[in-house]
Homo-oligomer: A and B are copies of this chain.
Amino acid sequence: MSRLSRYLPILDWGRRYDRGALSNDLIAAVIVTIMLIPQSLAYALLAGLPPEAGIYASIVPILLYSVFGTSRALAVGPVAVVSLMTAAAIGQVAEQGTMGYAAAALTLALLSGAMLLLMGVFRLGFLASFLSHPVIAGFITAAGILIAASQLRHILGIESDGHTLIEIVASLVSNLPETNLPTLIIGVTATAFLFWVRKGLKPLLRSLGLPARAADIATKAGPVLAVVVTTLAVWGLSLGDRGVAIVGAVPQSLPPLTLPAFSPDLLGALFLPALMISIIGFVESISVAQTLAAKKRQRIDPDQELIGLGAANVGAAFTGGYPVTGGFARSVVNFDAGAETPAAGAFTAAGLAIAAVALTPLVFFLPKATLAATIIVAVLSLVDFSILRKTWRYSRADFAAVAATILLTLALGVEAGVSAGVVLSLVLHLMKTSKPHVAEVGLVPGTHHFRNIHRHEVTTDPAIVTLRPDERLYFVNARFLENLILDRVARNKEIRHVVLMCAAINEIDFSALESLEALNERLKDADIGLHLSEVKGPVMDRLKATHFLEDLNGKVFLSQYDAWCALTEPRDTPRAAE
């Protein structure tokens, strides 16, 4: 693979494109396009944007991703969580329905795209790994609940707002008396139908003899059926006149050329939200891409993925869209429908462009309640509280991180929730390493092995304390070890030698080095030797570049057994060991 085709993966797969791949890609594109039309409208609604923004955000971004992205099956466009985060971010700087709101969505997409591109260029894809799995799972679950709750207003046909669960519920309850009955009937029926499609249709189709893959795809087309039926109902029964909110006029046009707003205030206000949207979007996208690639033994390059997603978002910013990423549902459908290359995405974009020009009048009577129903059914499948039970059983620290993420996302909104989850994961990790396990070890009789004196029958010497810290030594735990050793020595006046068994020490940073130097001085004052054993190669190389080993009031032993033999034999002052 040449250097250029690394940055332009299209050069790689495009060269080997043939008729077989073309027909597979075309079939997949038709299926995905049909599925994407209602989904794009729905997610635009969730983001608080006009419906066409969802369609536009699915056209140019897909094209750009197909040029720069590395996944063969990933379908890029609006997704539920990012749409919710977009609404939360823009809601703070502009009023929904205003020109400023749509312009801010463009700015958000541009900022997010620029950040993703920068992260890609500087190969910072690893930053996504700072989000732990439980935090992501908790966040997705809480975001799913928030999204479903926020869509209830469309099912009920009332006004409501809010970015936290309490705000949303309070707003819903206070407006409940204004519920519109026809809307409620459409909304509940559509929701029930879509749940049935998801749970009951596939087994039914299978029992009727349809192959598994066809049954799967038919199931995914359920929303299209709901859209068609409820649109016809609203049109036929003139439900629009009876208070049912409908999509209304959508411009018949290709994606327009748009210019994001650029005021410093706006950029400042959207900076952090854009960063979070970038990271969350990247994590979601890379998870989907890697899962699908693994099934076909293909490789995903995370840094190039950042560039692909960055280009897609920049594209969204200039063509009337809003932040996009690789979506789970649409990518799986694309994959299952047989997409072989990113060309399938390009064909999908073409299909959506045709829809944007030709089909938008057909959705005039589409009730918003149906779109809300498709969102609710889609996001509730993301809600999974089992992560709480699993982490509780496995590790309280992981449980704390996931519980905090869920509670804070629900109580304070998406940004606070995911930030808290990340910070808590890192702090809990640092706390764990700040008080590392330090085993006091002794010789297992008849062997050269040293084991924890509290777990095994071992030989010890009252004049020698051997400690094995099970952690890298760095600033967070440097003083802990120093204090632990000084306390241990202070408890027992017979001690003449302290041996640090360094087999599990993968690094000694500068703070820890200073701490060891201080420890050495303190032990020297007390006429106690400080020795090291089993120091790893890279750690030793660094120590040799300092004065520490020269000043050490003791020796460095290759093996702990050597240390034991040397220090027990002569029974002398520490100086003799030098």
A interface residues (Cβ-Cβ under 8 A, vs B): 126, 129-135, 294, 297, 390-391, 393-395, 397-398, 425-426, 429-437, 455, 470-472, 474-480, 490, 503-504, 506-507, 509-511, 513-515, 522, 536-538, 542, 545-546
Contacts and interface: CB of A to CB of B under 8 A. Distances in A.
Contacts of A477: 129
A130 B476 CA distance: 5
A542 B394 contact: yes
Contacts of A514: 133
B504 A506 contact: yes
Contact of A510 (B398, B434, B480, B536): B398
A431 B126 contact: yes
A510 B129 contact: no
A23 to B, nearest CB: 28
A451 B204 CA distance: 58
A131 B391 contact: no
A349 B445 CA distance: 61
A513 B394 CA distance: 9
B511 A133 contact: yes
A574 to B, nearest CB: 19
Given A398-B509, A398-B510, A546-B393, A476 B434 contact: no
8 contacts: A129-B478, A129-B479, A130-B430, A132-B474, A391-B510, A395-B510, A426-B430, A470-B506
A129 B436 contact: no
A432 B510 contact: no
Contacts of A536: 470
Given A130-B476, A133-B475, A474-B429, A504 B504 contact: yes
Nearest to A518: B294
A134 B431 contact: no
A391 to B, nearest CB: 5
Contacts of A472: 433, 471
B435 A126 contact: yes
Count chain B CB atoms within 10 A of each CB in A126, A134, A436, A471 and give the residue with the most: A126
Count chain B CB atoms within 10 A of each CB in A426, A507, A536 and give the residue with the most: A507
B437 A538 contact: yes
Contact of A129 (B133, B134, B475, B490): B475
A393 B126 contact: no
Contacts of A398: 509-511
Contact of A437 (B131, B434, B506): B506
Contact of A471 (B130, B478, B506, B511): B506
B510 A134 contact: yes
Contacts of A545: 393-394
Given A294-B522, A471-B472, 8 more contacts: A129-B475, A129-B479, A133-B475, A133-B514, A391-B510, A395-B542, A398-B509, A429-B475
A434 B393 contact: no
Nearest to A425: B475
A478 to B, nearest CB: 7
A134 B455 contact: no
Q: Which 4 A-B pairs have the closest CB atoms?
A: A132-B475, A133-B511, A398-B510, A470-B506
Contacts of A538: 437
